Amino acid sequence: MMSMNYAFGFSLFLLVLVALNIYFFYTLNTVGARSPKFNVPSMKLDLTSSVFKDIYDYLNYLPSNYKIKNPKFLPIQNNLLASFNSSHNINNQDVWSETENWSSEESLFPHTNGAPGRILQAIQTSQIALVDNAPKGTQLKLLLLLEGKQKIYFKPKRYDLDHVIIGNIYGGFDRHNSEVFAYYLAMVLNFRWIPPSVIRRIHIHKDIMPVATAGLKRTMVKNESGSLCIYGKCFYCKVNETVCPDSKGEIEGAAILYLDRQFKIHKSPWKRSYSTKKMEWETDNDFCKKVKGALSTKRLLNLIDVAIFDFLIQNGDRHRYEVYKDQIVLLDNGKGLGNAMVDELDILAPLYQCCILSTSTWQKLEMLSGGSLTETIKKLGALRNDKLATEEHFKAVERRLLKVFATVQYCIGKHGRSKVFQNGLF
Ligand SMILES: Nc1ncnc2c1ncn2[C@@H]1O[C@H](COP(=O)(O)OP(=O)(O)OP(=O)(O)O)[C@@H](O)[C@H]1O
Ligand SMILES: [Mn+2]
């Protein structure tokens, strides 16, 4: 009787042990894929589900070197910080002629001898000679003409940094901080085809009204507290969706250097549908083959770099892209940093569908592991006293970087390193 009891108790114990084991392995495998934090949208599980699952498996077993800092980055970080930490007494006019006369196959703007810092300082401090509506596009933005004739796009602040955009990945107004964050991110990634962008505060009565065009004044209204607010002129601009000055009378925004260049505009092959209709890339597993047939490898690698960049900030709105000197120019980065809890993995579709990556991008990414990426962005922002995002967003960018690493591991697993990494020499 006694031994029967023991046997029963022991088998019960074994049963519990097995159940615990199964549960343990189940959670191990699904923690990435199923956790609501990672937001794998259920409607997309048809075609991408197995790809996403594979990528999350790689994420769960990511080698530890992707989670620690790479000491090789330190001197690069110091150089970058130095180039942004420039001088107090600059002549803005010299800066504008330096930028305007810049001609290079490597970058849109000078990047050596403290030029990036000087440019940002000039954007922030130059006197404003004229303010007008910038009616291009769907979002409210202003065109500032600085003394010295330099043009600036000014995308005003619409949300506090901790505001969470719920809904579509391309939903909400542009985020001004996303523009500036994107610029620094590009600098850290060594993507040099992006206009310099910095936070600037402009005073409604001191900086705007004395130099506002009649057209701009016509798109202003007084709010209940008597402040002058702007509703602007753009596709989505509405009289009741104004931008108002803060208690100091200032409007904060992203001041983005305007490039008076001839861009070629292209539709992105991975453009999102703005309706419930599915796009080809969402339903065709061999979609990349088609793109490869239509675009050069150089352009494709460029689009994949842009996809990684957009995934890190969660900009899901790159419906078209501008090209200058055969390089994609990263214009319009305002739709990032909407929700720090969401990682929309399909922004990486160009990467996981084509499974190629330029070697230089990969070397750069590998150097930025373990927190270096966002640490550098924070430090660059701090040089101008700007906090560009909440801690949640900085954490989210690091988490997404791990997912980029996992996606590349997935590609290597599927095709081998020699197929994935391309040196960009064609
Ligand atoms: N820094 C810049 N220099 C020159 N042209 C620019 C710059 N930024 C944007 N543009 C041009 O202005 C257009 C509109 O700008 P942007 O895309 O930022 O506005 P938007 O309101 O977000 O537009 P959309 O709703 O179409 O995304 C761009 O397509 C581009 O051609
Ligand atoms: Mn836009």
Q: Which residue CA neighbors atom 12 of ligand 1 most closely?
A: 136
User: Residue 134 CA: which ligand is closest?
Assistant: 1
Mean pLDDT over the full length of the chain: 91
Element counts in the chain: helices (H) and strands (E): 15, 12
Instruction: Assign 12 a pLDDT band (cuts: 50, 70, 90).
Output: low
Mean local confidence (pLDDT), 250-276: 96
- In this structure, is the dihedral angle defined by the CA atoms of residues 213, 215, 220 and 221, taken in order, positive or negative? positive
Mean pLDDT in residue range 259-288: 95
Identify which of 238, 256, 331 to mutate to test ligand 1's pocket (most ligand atoms within 8 A of the CB): 331
d(CA 313, CA 184): 12
CA distance 137 to 291: 27
Q: CA-to-CA distance for 301 and 140, rounded, in angstroms?
A: 32
Which atom of ligand 1 has the smallest separation from the CA of 197? Answer: 1
Q: Give 52: exposed, middle or buried? Use CB within 10 Å, 0-12, 13-18, 19+.
A: buried
Q: How confident is the model at residue 32 (pLDDT cuts 50, 70, 90)?
A: very low
What is the mean pLDDT of the segment spanning 254-258?
97
Q: Half-sphere exposure of residue 245, counting CA atoms within 13 Å on the CB side?
A: 20
Question: 223 to each of 86, 133, 156, 208, 237, how far by Cα in Å?
Answer: 40, 19, 17, 17, 16
Does the structure show a pLDDT above 50 at 29? no
pLDDT on residue 48: 72
Report how far ligand 2's centroid is from the alpha carbon of 280 (Å): 22
Helix, strand or coil, per DSSP, at residue 21: helix
Judged against a pLDDT cut of 50, whether residue 28 lies above it is answered with no
pLDDT of the residue at 1: 46
Residues with CB under 6 A from ligand 1: 136-139, 153, 174, 195, 256-259, 263, 322, 331-332, 334
Q: Is the pLDDT of residue 382 over 70?
A: yes
Q: What per-residue string of b and e applies to 343-354 under the rule 16 or more CB within 10 Å gives b?
A: bbbbbbbbbbbb
DSSP string for 229-298 = EE--SSTT--TTS-B---TTSEEEEEEEE---S-PEEEE-TTPPPSSSSPPHHHH-TTHHHHHHHHS-HH
21 or 178: whose pLDDT is higher? 178
Describe the chain by its helix, strand, coil percentages, rounded to 5: 50, 15, 40
Provide the whole-model pTM: 0.89
Q: Which residue has the higher pLDDT, 281 or 423?
A: 281
**Cα angle 290-105-297, degrees, rounded to a multiple of 5:** 15
> Up-side HSE of residue 323: CA atoms within 13 Å toward CB?
13
pLDDT at 86: 75
For each of the domains in the chain, give its residue range(s) and CATH number, in order of start.
64-71+263-422 (1.10.1070), 80-257 (no CATH)
Q: How close is the Cα of 324 to the center of ligand 1, in Å?
A: 14
pLDDT score for 423: 87
Q: Where in the sequence numbering do the catalytic residues fall?
A: 317
Supply the pLDDT for residue 138.
94
Query: Picking from 96-105, 149-158, 417-426, which range would have the lowest pLDDT averaged per residue?
Result: 417-426
Amino acid at 160: D
Average pLDDT over residues 242-264: 97
Measured in whole angstroms, the distance separating CA 341 from the mean position of its chain's CA atoms is 15
Distance, CA of 71 to CA of 91 (rounded, Å): 37
What length does the chain have? 426
DSSP 366-388: HHTGGGHHHHHHHHHHHTTT---
Structural contact between residues 397 and 312, judged by C-beta atoms closer than 8 angstroms: yes
pLDDT band at residue 89 under the 50/70/90 scheme: confident
Indicate if the alpha-carbon torsion angle 217, 222, 226, 227 is positive or negative: negative
- pLDDT of 306 strictly over 90: yes
| Alpha carbon distance 191, 184 (integer Å) | 10
